[in-house]
């Protein structure tokens, strides 16, 4: 078989794998919500802001880790990069990423305060709601979503492409960022929050390249968690200021 035929075959394999990955991510998310709905968390989370979504994220993370374990054991697929690892580039990327995000939200809230275009949360900022939501974002959102939306799909796509070239890395990162954006679409109501989908896609690219360049999912996890804390916490600070 010629080089061109091999190249076409591997890209065809990757193209088929992408919707399969989407189906797996969607399935794990639905299973997570189904299990979360079995628990009555109203005694600790009366506004249903963090408890059930925390259960959902724990379940989908366990399922993703189980698949990774099975792929490693029975297919000998490596490269999921789950181990913690010190990496100077990872620290630098994380600091720069957070600094850019803080500047972005400062700009948004400064402009929004003059134009009255800021959408705030419609629940009370009491201790339970604030600690619960920020705790979930800090400790669960990054680890759960980065394992499911970065470690698992990027590794499988690079395995299917049978190379670690720059071109194939770009394909894997953009493809998984696209899947991350699609995950923010409500397929049951056909609701497409365009800004949220585009925002997730852009962040997915940043997380994906960090995953590849640091060879560790830990730094995308930290970036993801901190980005959510900055986003949610920034809105809380604005709400307190705007009282």
pLDDT, tens digit (0-9, with 9 covering 90-100), for 72-89: 999 999 999 998 889 999
Alpha carbon distance 124, 44 (integer Å): 15
- Tokens 């800090």 belong to residue: 138
With a CB cutoff of 8 Å and minimum separation 6, the contacts of 38 are: none
Average pLDDT over residues 163-191: 92
| Cβ proximity of 164 and 158 under 8 Å | yes
Residue 82 belongs to domain spanning:
3-241
Alpha carbon distance 26, 236 (integer Å): 30
163 pLDDT more than 90:
no
Average pLDDT over residues 99-115: 95
Tell me how many degrees the CA angle 29-194-182 measures, rounded to the nearest 5: 30
pLDDT, tens digit (0-9, with 9 covering 90-100), for 215-224: 999 999 999 9
pLDDT, tens digit (0-9, with 9 covering 90-100), for 9-36: 899 999 999 999 999 999 999 999 999 9
Tell me how many domains the chain contains: 1
Question: What whole-number percentage of the chain has pLDDT above 70?
Answer: 98
């Amino acid at each position: 078989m010629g080089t061109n035929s091999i190249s076409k075959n591997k890209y065809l394999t990757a193209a088929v794998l992408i919707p399969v990955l989407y189906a797996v991510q969607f399935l794990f998310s639905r299973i997570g919500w189904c299990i979360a709905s079995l628990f009555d968390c109203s005694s600790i989370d009366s506004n249903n802001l963090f408890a059930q979504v925390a259960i959902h994220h724990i379940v989908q993370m366990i399922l993703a880790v189980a698949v990774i374990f099975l792929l490693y054991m029975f297919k000998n697929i490596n490269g999921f990069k789950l181990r913690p690892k010190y990496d100077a580039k990872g620290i630098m990327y994380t600091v720069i990423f957070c600094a850019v995000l803080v500047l972005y939200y400062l700009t948004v809230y400064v402009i929004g305060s003059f134009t009255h275009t800021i959408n705030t949360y419609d629940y009370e900022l009491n201790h339970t709601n604030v600690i619960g939501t920020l705790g979930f974002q800090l400790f669960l959102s990054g680890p759960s979503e980065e394992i499911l939306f970065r470690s698992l799909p990027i590794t499988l796509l690079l395995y299917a492409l049978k190379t670690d070239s720059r071109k194939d890395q770009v394909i894997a990162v953009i493809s998984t960022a696209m899947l991350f954006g699609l995950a923010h679409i409500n397929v049951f109501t056909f609701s497409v929050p365009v800004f949220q989908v585009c925002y997730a896609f852009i962040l997915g690219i940043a997380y994906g390249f960090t995953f590849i360049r640091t060879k560790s999912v830990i730094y995308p996890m930290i970036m993801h968690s901190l980005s959510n804390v900055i986003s949610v916490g920034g809105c809380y600070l604005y709400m307190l200021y705007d009282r």
